[in-house]
Structure 1
Amino acid sequence: MIAYVTVGADDIARAKRFYTAFLPALGYGLKEGREGLSYVLPLAEGQATLLPDFYVKPTFNGQPATAGNGSMIAFEARSQSQVRELHAAALAAGGGDEGQPGFRPTYGAHFYVSYLRDPQGNKIALFSSDPHEPARNG
């Protein structure tokens, strides 16, 4: 099980603007500290930890942050309409478009996805695969 995901950012304020445009809508709360941004899912009293957490931090070694070639982080939305809304919000918050919301011919019939780049260049996917919503050929 993945416990957490961390991406590096040289400009924490720009990263905060981008990620805060969509992660709270997916249930993530934000905690800020000297070490950067921590987006975590809320826990009820006595509830086990929900994973994974998502962190945006300056690099440990002080060198410029770089995006991984072939790396991508995917966040699940509740619906196709939420994918569209959050994609637009992330673009308005400084993200780059890597693929408009929609179906892709090589994925499952219900896999509705959009792709973005955060201000640092990390690739982000927002997707929904609800079988109760319209399918690619439906």
Structure 2
Amino acid sequence: MIGYTMVGTADLRRAERFYDPVMALIGQERCYCDEQVSSWGRKDDDKAPRFFACHPFDGKAASVGNGAMTAFLVESAEVIDRLFETAMARGGSEEGKPGFRPQYGDGFYAAYVRDPDGNKLAFVCYDAREVESPS
């Protein structure tokens, strides 16, 4: 259903420094970049959804929409924890620490961040399991 998602940035190189390690953790690589835009996805599948950060094409300043968010489906709670830490280390800001959100369903584990431009992102796993501590 989704072909691609695009978010605006005021500083494309800063966006690349933020998104390169985040996308690597979820198995996405940088597919394309020029002075206007960078994209991440799968180089071997040009029909798979991609994520873009770009300078707005109309030349106006990038702005963030309240209520807009891109959610990335992730394989486990452990990966979400690492994504959250990576986002924080790369200039992101916290919008919801990693944890279970039982109000959204059993096993729903998520973290919410904003990139350095203020775009809101979610990292979600629908079937995360509690990690048992060793006895």
1:125 aligns with 2:118: no
Gaps of 5+ in 1: none
3-state SS of the aligned residue for 1:23?
helix
Letter of the aligned partner of 1:125 in structure 2? A
Number of equivalences? 130
User: Is the Cα contact below 8 Å between 2:12 and 2:36 reproduced in 1?
Assistant: no
In percent, how many aligned pairs have the same letter? 38
Tell me the CA shift for residue 104 of structure 1.
1.8
Query: Any stretches of 5+ residues in structure 2 without a counterpart?
Result: none
Would you identify which runs of 4 or more consecutive aligned residues in structure 1 move more than 4 Å? none
Distance 1:61 1:76, change over 3 A: same
Q: TM-score, normalised by structure 2?
A: 0.89
Aligned ranges for residues 39-118 of structure 1 at < 5 Å?
39-43=40-44, 49-50=47-48, 52-118=49-115
Residue identity opposite 1:3 in structure 2: G
SS for the counterpart of 1:101 is strand
Contact kept in structure 1, 2:102 and 2:108, CA below 8 Å: no
Deviation at 1:102, TM superposition (A): 0.2
Give the TM-score normalised by the residue count of structure 1.
Answer: 0.87
Tell me what 1:18 maps to: 18
* Aligned Cα root-mean-square deviation (Å): 1.6
SS class of match (2:104): coil
